[in-house]
Amino acid sequence: MIKTEAMLENVALVDRHLAAAAASDVDAMIADYAEDVILYTPRGPIKGRSALRTYFDIFFAENQIDGTRNGNRTLLRRDVDNDVVYVVWGADGAAPVATDTFLIRHGKIRIQASTSHMTG
């Protein structure tokens, strides 16, 4: 598949977002989302940037590993199809495997579906 400029921009957005998540940088993560974002999780959807900030603050506080908020993350797979980016990743000591699917509109994450197998 030939990647368009828009697809490359979407990949760059997701890569920046994943780096912010690995650094537990909630401010940078929230900046990547549209105002009306919906994050679908196994526990149900989270709607809007304000609710998402609360979710991530709690998530990182509850999932500390060895005094840090995340394990070392490894990107295992990334697929891109126009405005959809799908990633599979793992985090040492935290989530051996996790997936995220992003729908990107106008340079912001509009919808994200996320699931992981957390350990410990």
- The CATH number of whichever domain residue 14 belongs to comes to 3.10.450.50
Domains contained in the chain, number: 1
Helix (H, G, I), strand (E, B) or coil at 101: strand
Give 18's contacts (C-beta < 8 A, 6+ positions apart).
Answer: 73, 75, 87, 89
Its domain, for residue 30, covers 5-116
The tens digit of pLDDT for each residue in 16-66 reads: 998 888 888 899 999 999 999 999 998 899 999 999 999 998 887 876 644
Contact 110, 103 (CB under 8 A): yes
> What is the side-by-side order of every strand in the sheet holding 84-91?
44-47, 33-41, 108-116, 95-105, 84-91, 73-81
pTM of the shown model: 0.86
